[in-house]
């Protein structure tokens, strides 16, 4: 995979753009390479199958972020369910009113610290998915948000999703 230009002192907006560029370039390729396996697993594992897909898609860009001094501000707890090394299921929301069974939307968030341990903002990760079959009805996407407080983050997510209805 291509190296994306991540460097120290980037803003949350610049980081979101680099990660978004990575997603745009690779999401379909990773999906196509793994579609047969994921389609077979979906009847048994249902939503967890999307986590398996993300385990294949996100680690290269997350490792690159970490290599350049960026990391999640939140400590992982013993009982946390973490997908792809960066998406903590505890830090996600999904509401029935945000879609249909064929096009559900889950939004994860990652508060990002830089190499100076400063919280620079939050990466919101939106995953459109189906609860009926293994399908991504829209590309995954990252959105930058300057806030880092959990209440502010969840309020922003609700505003984004309910204003897009």
Model confidence pLDDT, tens digit, residues 43-83: 999 999 999 999 999 999 999 999 999 999 999 999 999 99
Domain limits, the chain: 12-163
Model confidence pLDDT, tens digit, residues 118-134: 999 999 999 999 999 99
Q: Would you give the DSSP letter of residue 69?
A: T
Whether the pLDDT of residue 164 is over 80: the answer is no
Across 86-110, average pLDDT: 90
The pLDDT value recorded for residue 99 is 79
57: phi > 0 → left, psi -120 to 50 → alpha, else beta; which? alpha
Whether the pLDDT of residue 101 is over 90: the answer is no
| Whole-Å CA distances, 120 to 11, 57, 72, 124, 145 | 7, 24, 11, 13, 9
């Amino acid at each position: 995979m291509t190296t994306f230009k991540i460097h120290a002192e980037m803003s949350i907006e610049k980081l979101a753009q680099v990660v978004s560029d990575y997603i745009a370039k690779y999401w379909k390729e990773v999906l196509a390479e793994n579609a047969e396996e994921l389609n077979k697993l979906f009847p048994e594992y249902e939503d967890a199958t999307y986590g398996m897909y993300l385990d294949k898609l996100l680690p290269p860009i997350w490792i690159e972020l970490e290599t350049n001094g960026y990391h999640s501000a939140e400590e992982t707890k013993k009982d946390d369910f973490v997908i792809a090394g960066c998406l903590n299921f505890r830090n996600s929301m999904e509401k029935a009113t945000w879609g249909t069974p064929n096009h559900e939307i889950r939004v994860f968030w990652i508060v990002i610290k830089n190499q100076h341990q400063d919280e620079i903002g939050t990466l919101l990760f939106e995953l459109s998915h189906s609860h009926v079959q293994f399908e991504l009805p829209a590309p995954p996407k990252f959105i930058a948000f300057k806030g880092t407080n959990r209440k502010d983050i969840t309020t922003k997510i609700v505003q984004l999703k309910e204003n897009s209805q």
